[in-house]
Amino acid sequence: MQIIKDYTFYKEIKHLFIKGKIDVDSDYFIKKIDEGVDSENNRNYKTNVVAGMTDWRYFLGDEKFYETIIPIINILDNKESKSLDIKEAWGVRHKKFDRTKPHDHVPAYLSFVLYLNDHDQPLKFKDIDETVDSTKGSFAIFSSNLTHYCERNISGKPKYLLSWNAFIKPSFA
């Protein structure tokens, strides 16, 4: 055997991070999340989200969900040349002492969070030293490989959010 070349290198990766605020019908989504979290088909305390969580695909096909995120999709259409497919869309309810462990969303390409109520438990991105305040209508779109988390909810008030992952649609010549 002859090795011609053997080296390790790091290549800078493009990251996307956008945060903003939109109008959202919180009552509708909070009710739906409560239904999904309380159903038998849930992901409660089974993931890095150590909290109540609906099934991964709970909001796929929900017309109000898509109506709500259209302005955000429009932002992406102007920033991203790749065709994207939302394959996962779920809801989360953080009760007292719940938290989200540091994690990323690989193999997804882009991820999203939208807060449905005001809360003092922000989402933190340790890779880029950013936070997203948990206020009604606050959102973030971010590269799925960015590590993020939130500390324990120490208040008696639940925090509600929507999240989704977008994957690159394959293109065939």
pLDDT at 15: 86
What gap in Å lies between CA 166 and CA 144, rounded to an integer?
Answer: 9
SS3 call for 90: strand
Contact assessment for residue 112 and residue 20, using Cβ atoms and an 8 Å cutoff: no
Q: Predicted confidence band at 83 (pLDDT cuts at 50, 70, 90)? A: confident
pLDDT at 11: 65
Give me the sign of the Cα torsion angle 107, 109, 136, 69: negative
Percentage of the chain surpassing pLDDT 90?
A: 70
What gap in Å lies between CA 140 and CA 160, rounded to an integer?
Answer: 15
> Does 119 have pLDDT greater than 80?
yes
Sheet of strand 49-50, all strands in order from the earlier edge strand to the far edge: 49-50, 99-103, 148-150, 123-125, 130-132
- Over residues 45-67, the pLDDT tens digits come to 888 899 999 999 999 999 999 99
Global pTM exceeds 0.85:
yes
